[in-house]
Amino acid sequence: MRTSVFVAVLVSSFFAAACSESSAPAQPAGASAAVAKAAAVCEHGVQSDICARCNPKLEPAFRAQNDWCQEHARPESQCVLCNPELAKKGIK
């Protein structure tokens, strides 16, 4: 008898917690991914984990891929000064 009461309390607690969490407004599919991606963009308009200006230690990796603008000290793929069309993508 005690076990069944314990299980009943445990199950009702679980459902109460689940119901309170699901009362938050639902986000459209993909919204959380878009928010995460937007949050992962640095001040230069580049994905933060690949921004060589924010992370100078990444320079050798870009140089190894022949993706380095010596004149502007950044990856060519992130150099809006050499590639103005990158500004349309939000790169600064």
Task: Output the pLDDT for position 5.
Answer: 46
Phi, psi of 84, deg, nearest 5: -60, -25
pLDDT in tens, 26-80: 555 565 665 555 569 999 999 999 999 999 999 999 999 999 999 999 999 999 9
The answer to whether position 84 is within a domain reads yes
Question: Which of 89, 56, 87, 90 has its CA nearest to residue 75?
Answer: 56
- What is the reported pTM? 0.57
Instruction: Specify the number of domains making up the chain.
Output: 1
Residue 69 forms part of a structural domain: yes
Q: 65 lies in which domain range?
A: 59-92
Terminal CA-to-CA distance of the chain, rounded, Å? 68
Query: Residue 22 class from Cβ within 10 Å (0-12 exposed, 13-18 middle, 19+ buried)?
Result: exposed
Residue 20 pLDDT greater than 50, yes or no = no
2 to 5, 9, 11, 13, 55: CA distances (angstroms): 5, 11, 14, 16, 59
